[in-house]
Amino acid sequence: MASELNKLTIAEASAKLHAREITATQLTRDCLDRIAAAEPKLHAFLTVCEKEAVEQARAADARLAGGNAPALCGIPLGIKDIYATKGVRTTCASRILENFVPPFDATVIERLRADGAIFVGKTNMDEFAMGSSTENSAFGATTNPHDTARVAGGSSGGSAAAVAAHECLGSLGTDTGGSIREPASFCGVVGIKPTYSRVSRYGVIAFASSLDQVGPFTKSVRDAAILLRTLAGKDTRDSTCSARPVPDYELGLTGDVKGLRIGVPREYFVEGMQPEVEKSVRAALKNYESLGASTVEISMPHTGYAIAAYYLLATAEASANLARYDGIRYGLRVNSEDHIALYETTRAQGFGPEVKRRIMLGTFALSAGYYDAYYLKAQKVRTLIRNDFERAFEKCDLIVTPVAPTTAFKIGEKMNDPLTMYLSDIFTISVNLAGLPGMAIPCGHDSNNLPIGMQLIAPPFAEEAILRAGDAFERTGAFKPRTPAV
Amino acid sequence: MNREAYEAVIGLEVHTHLLTRSKLFCGCSTTFGAGPNENVCPICMGMPGVLPVLNRRVVELAIRTGLAAHCTIAPYSIFDRKSYFYPDLPKGYQISQYETPICKGGYLDLPPTENGDTRRIGLTRIHIEEDAGKNIHGESASLVDFNRSGVPLIEIVSEPDLRSAEDAGAYLRQLRAILRYVDASDGKMEEGSFRCDCNVSVRKRGATEYGVRTEIKNLNSFRFVEDAIEYEVDRQIAIVESGGKVAQETHLWDPTRKETRPMRSKEYANDYRYFPEPDLPPLVVPAEMVEKVRESMPELPADRKARYVREGLTEYEAGVLIADRDVADYFEATLPGLKNRKGAANWVMTEVLRVARESDKPFVEGVPPATEVGALLTMVEAQKISLNAAKTAFAAMVNSGKTAEATIAELGLAQVSDESAIAAAIDKVLAAEPDKLAEYRAGRDKLFGFFVGAVMKAMGGKANPKVINEILRAKLAG
């Protein structure tokens, strides 16, 4: 533990690796040691890939010694257990995939591998990414590194906690309704959900195909830019993936936000939210004004319908996406007298309660006689919400909101009340419905020393704009995230 | 039972595999006959996280079929998920097209019946979808082969315009001919690449309302379709006649017992919960693409028939030849170098089709190559062999597989046109038959044929009859 290289950012570590001041092997060793020390309290990982990581580090060192290695060469990352990783168990935190080992890599895993990144392990999550606290993991919750009595957020809670606790330098999450941004906010790290279609979804186990998007967790905005640069871009295996060229996001980090018009939606500062959250975000807005940006109040009148529309569309898609877990070809099988009984018992034992709830909700929304009233209506709401954003972006370049109405809540606090749990994503869900890029960055903490996150939202494919603004805020040093308690 | 008082109303849904090298949404091979689960990958096995990518060739073939059947090609269509659980359906849903098929409307013209009636059968739609795998049930276990999973299909849905089992048979034959013409499908029912569901109802003749229909599923030969419809129409008429009501059910045809039996409602009563496939963008077919496909279209049966008639064949001859694209192509392959098209047509229709009927192999493999038949007919035109010699040679070639030239040489069938040899033979015959010669010269013209026959016999049947005639006539004239 002497060197604590695991505390470096990706940008710092990359510079040192390329300068041969440190080795990928040392860096990986420090991460693995940290994992060994912290995991009993955090449970951020479902699978730790020690052997593979050490081998990858050795290969990275050889490549770094040869010169010309990519920026991510030798950087230890955590991977949400929703990404197919060839030869490494991929569970989606579900009993039904408990022993599933994919024969292929997700596209983004392939890209990171090609760049020489190191995978220290597969991180914990809500089962099939359904949840806002990682308590729906079939293998136990992840705790918040700032207070282990609290949740890490979800569904990508393991990835957020792992970065916050320096178990790895960055990680991958997925975000369907806030699953990157909310845990990033709860754990005090940076998390970006890119524009829908910016990053390939191939090999990412689907929850809701029209909403799911891949994104990184990092300790700094610069690191997010570095990771996203590698993740983004056309993939012939994903027909919904954009062919638009990928800018060098890191080069866009100029620190300059002069003249930037920031929209502040009235509907996102609601009654019942934790006062400290509003205070922190408002303070950050003042900070932007002092940097030469302007703020303007905007209105997004259909915000109130977002959660209802989301839970119809996401569950409808999920009900079909999860139909493949039938016990026939892979994963859990509970043998029964005929194939129908086999489905029933396998799925009854394989899926947790929240997954079952959503499959049933989605099946109902698509059923004959209900389709128009639910699925179709929700699609119309989705269009209205998208229009809200389009209209808003006529008046501003970026929108700033809180990420979540509260800071991290206590483990168990909302488990018996799914509706209250769903409200944790009230500020993030619209962004998925509209397919926009959104980023969470730490902007303060509450009286319990729990991190508060600010959300930056941009028009489609304007990731550069939110990265630049986020980086400019970080540079002011107005807020420095605390070292977590764990 | 007064069958004549009733009319059957029949609509067909035909599923056919498209002739592509790779599957609809992944790169796996579509080859029939591979070992179990050899043509599979994570995508067609429905592994977690995989995504479909549409095969462009499938879209082209669907458009081709649509153009051949006079359909409107949709400039914008979407794919939908059709959800149901079955072990051979790896994703738990089939990617299909529901509300927006790629082709709408259209029709097929049935060939004229014996009394000359022509019929136009309307099409409702043609859409693209993926096939499922195949369950194999053993004594102690069931297995699934996913080679067929994801193989591209089009479903061609007819209007309820068919009125009898014969109609249905004629429609299927016509449809298969078109699919083969445009290279969309091989139409091989025995390999499961052409399957049919029938919707059948009956009503009193003259009624305008439809009766309650039953659906007969998964018929995989034309014979079964016709038998099943015959059976089902009789069954329904009997029910109605006895005052009963036909139940709206799905039936399966049992070819051994020659009857339909209802499936358990559990086996088919599904709410498929269709919704737009979020993993595929809408299918946009620009007008230029349709035009490009139109330009690349092979000649359709109706056009080919019209051309044959223009080129001198009768309606009947043209009709027989174009019924099967392989036969028409064969006919055309015999033609280079030939003057007599009609002769070639007759040859193909009689000699070649007879051999083809007697063979149990597919048409092209069961008969000698068209170029060799062309060679035979060219020799007949050049008077190198007689028509009879050509028939003898053809029969030998069916079994030996040898070329026309080799066969003619081997069997010594070449015709003798050498005038001195023929003149010598004539002299011999005339010398041997002084009485007949005298009778002829006295006016019995009919004896000319006798002399020709005798000369031909003397020359082993190989003499050129035209040369015999000329020389004989001169010599007889003295």
Question: Looking at residues A96-112, what average pLDDT do you find?
Answer: 98
To the nearest whole Å, the CA of B264 is away from the closest chain A CA by 14
What HEC string does B208-267 produce?
Answer: CCCCCCEEEEEECCHHHHHHHHHHHHHHHHHHHHCCCCCCCCEEEEECCCCEEEECCHHH
Catalytic annotation present for A155: yes
Looking at the partner chain, which of A206, A208, A368 has a beta carbon nearest the beta carbon of B271?
Answer: A368
Give CA–CA dist B415/A137, Å, rounded: 91
Neighbours of B291 (CB within 10 A): 10
pLDDT at A166: 97
To the nearest whole Å, the CA of A106 is away from the closest chain B CA by 8
Give CA–CA dist B267/B265, Å, rounded: 5
From B375, B392, B411, the end of a domain falls on B411
Give tens-digit pLDDT for B227-249.
999 999 999 999 999 999 999 88
Looking at chain B, the whole-number percentage of residues with pLDDT higher than 90 is 57
Cβ pair A368:B53 closer than 8 A:
no
Q: Is B254 in the same domain as B370?
A: no
Of B271, B263, B215, nearest to B84 by C-alpha is: B271
Q: How far is CA B159 from the centre of its chain?
A: 22
Cross-strand bridge partners of residue B259: B254
Instruction: Tell me the count of A-B CB pairs closer than 8 A.
Output: 105
User: Exposed, middle or buried by CB within 10 Å (0-12, 13-18, 19+), for A68?
Assistant: exposed
Give the pair of three-digit tokens for residue A456: 């930056």
Query: CA triplet A20, A25, A30: central angle to 5 degrees?
Result: 110
Residue A346 binned pLDDT confidence (cut-offs 50, 70, 90): very high
With 70 as the cut, is the pLDDT of residue A401 above it?
yes
Edge-to-edge strand list for the sheet holding A45-48:
A45-48, A118-123, A76-80, A170-175, A213-218, A190-193, A438-445, A451-457, A398-402, A261-265, A294-298
Q: Is B405 in the same domain as B468?
A: no
Give CA–CA dist A160/A182, Å, rounded: 9
Kindly state the helix (H) or strand (E) to which residue A268 belongs, with its residue range: none
Chain A's closest residue to B27, CA to CA, is: A237
Residue B476 binned pLDDT confidence (cut-offs 50, 70, 90): confident
Give the pair of three-digit tokens for residue A133: 């606290």
Kindly state the helix (H) or strand (E) to which residue A326 belongs, with its residue range: none
User: Exposed, middle or buried by CB within 10 Å (0-12, 13-18, 19+), for B282?
Assistant: exposed
Kindly state the helix (H) or strand (E) to which residue A459 belongs, with its residue range: none
Question: Looking at residues B215-230, what average pLDDT do you find?
Answer: 90
Q: What is the ipTM of this complex?
A: 0.96
Of A106, A89, A149, A105, nearest to A331 by C-alpha is: A89
Structure-token match 């799905």, residue found: B250
Q: Is A465 left (phi over 0), alpha (psi -120 to 50) or beta?
A: alpha
Query: CA triplet B394, B395, B397: central angle to 5 degrees?
Result: 60
With 50 as the cut, is the pLDDT of residue B424 above it?
yes
Cβ pair B85:A106 closer than 8 A:
no
CA distances from B417 to A36, A463, B21, B133, B386 (A): 103, 91, 54, 65, 11
Residue B82 in contact with partner chain A when CB distance is under 8 A = no
Give tens-digit pLDDT for B48-71.
999 999 999 999 999 999 999 999
Give the DSSP per-residue string, A33-88: HHHHHHHHHH--EEEE-HHHHHHHHHHHHHHHHTS---TTTT-EEEEETTB-BTTB
Q: How far is CA A272 from the centre of its chain?
A: 25
Residue A2 binned pLDDT confidence (cut-offs 50, 70, 90): low
From B290, B321, B338, the end of a domain falls on B290
What does the DSSP 8-state code read for residue A101?
Answer: -
Structure-token match 């796996």, residue found: B28
Query: What are phi and psi for residue A119, nearest 5 degrees?
Result: -105, 105
List A14, A132, A155, A185, catalytic entry: A155
Q: Is B188 in the same domain as B279?
A: yes
pTM: 0.89
Looking at the structure of chain B, the number of domains it has is: 3
Question: Looking at residues A433-443, what average pLDDT do you find?
Answer: 98
Give CATH superfamily name and number for A5-258: Amidase signature (AS) domain (3.90.1300.10)
Which stretch of A202-216, A310-324, A472-486, B393-407 has the lowest confidence by average pLDDT? A472-486
User: Exposed, middle or buried by CB within 10 Å (0-12, 13-18, 19+), for A380?
Assistant: exposed
Give tens-digit pLDDT for B252-271.
998 889 888 888 766 666 79
Looking at chain A, the whole-number percentage of residues with pLDDT higher than 70 is 100
pLDDT at A413: 93
Residue A319 in contact with partner chain B when CB distance is under 8 A = yes
What does the DSSP 8-state code read for residue A232?
Answer: B
Residue B281 in contact with partner chain A when CB distance is under 8 A = yes
Which stretch of A362-376, A379-393, B382-396 has the lowest confidence by average pLDDT? B382-396
With 70 as the cut, is the pLDDT of residue A70 above it?
yes
Q: Is B79 in the same domain as B193?
A: yes
Helix (H, G, I), strand (E, B) or coil at A482: coil
Of A9, A64, A65, A2, nearest to A29 by C-alpha is: A2
Cross-strand bridge partners of residue B15: B155, B195
To the nearest whole Å, the CA of A365 is away from the closest chain B CA by 9
Give CA–CA dist A307/A427, Å, rounded: 9
Residue B385 binned pLDDT confidence (cut-offs 50, 70, 90): confident
With 80 as the cut, is the pLDDT of residue B205 above it?
yes
Give the pair of three-digit tokens for residue B225: 């379709």
Residue A210 in contact with partner chain B when CB distance is under 8 A = yes
What does the DSSP 8-state code read for residue A324?
Answer: G
Q: Is B88 in the same domain as B213?
A: yes
Give CA–CA dist B41/A103, Å, rounded: 9
Cβ pair B47:A210 closer than 8 A:
no
Give tens-digit pLDDT for B116-135.
777 899 999 999 999 999 99
Q: Is B319 left (phi over 0), alpha (psi -120 to 50) or beta?
A: alpha
With 90 as the cut, is the pLDDT of residue A446 above it?
yes
Helix (H, G, I), strand (E, B) or coil at A453: strand
Cβ pair B42:A236 closer than 8 A:
no
Residues of A in contact with B56 (CB under 8 A): none
Residue B1 binned pLDDT confidence (cut-offs 50, 70, 90): low
pLDDT at A1: 45
Kindly state the helix (H) or strand (E) to which residue B147 belongs, with its residue range: none
Kindly state the helix (H) or strand (E) to which residue B424 belongs, with its residue range: helix B419-432
Q: What is the mean pLDDT of chain B?
A: 90
With 80 as the cut, is the pLDDT of residue A14 above it?
yes
Neighbours of A236 (CB within 10 A): 11
Residues of A in contact with B271 (CB under 8 A): 367-368
Give tens-digit pLDDT for A194-244.
999 999 999 999 999 999 999 999 999 999 999 999 999 999 999 999 999
Q: What is the mean pLDDT of chain A?
A: 96
* Cα diameter, chain B: 101
To the nearest whole Å, the CA of B171 is away from the closest chain A CA by 33
List A80, A122, A193, A414, catalytic entry: A80
Catalytic annotation present for A159: no
With 60 as the cut, is the pLDDT of residue A29 above it?
yes
Give tens-digit pLDDT for A262-292.
999 999 987 788 999 999 999 999 999 999 9
Give CA–CA dist A329/A333, Å, rounded: 9
Give CA–CA dist A427/A436, Å, rounded: 13
β-pair type (B134-137, B119-130):
unpaired
From B227, B255, B290, the end of a domain falls on B290
Which residue range(s) make up the domain with B332?
299-411
pLDDT higher for A44 or A271?
A44
Looking at the partner chain, which of B53, B87, B91 has a beta carbon nearest the beta carbon of A239?
Answer: B53
With 90 as the cut, is the pLDDT of residue B3 above it?
no
Give tens-digit pLDDT for B325-360.
889 999 999 999 898 999 999 999 989 999 888 888
Residue B72 in contact with partner chain A when CB distance is under 8 A = no
Give CA–CA dist B246/B8, Å, rounded: 13
Give CA–CA dist B464/A466, Å, rounded: 96
Give CA–CA dist B238/B67, Å, rounded: 41
CATH number of the structural domain spanning residue B467: 1.10.10.410
Give the pair of three-digit tokens for residue A429: 């869900």
Of A53, A46, A63, nearest to A26 by C-alpha is: A53
Catalytic annotation present for A258: no
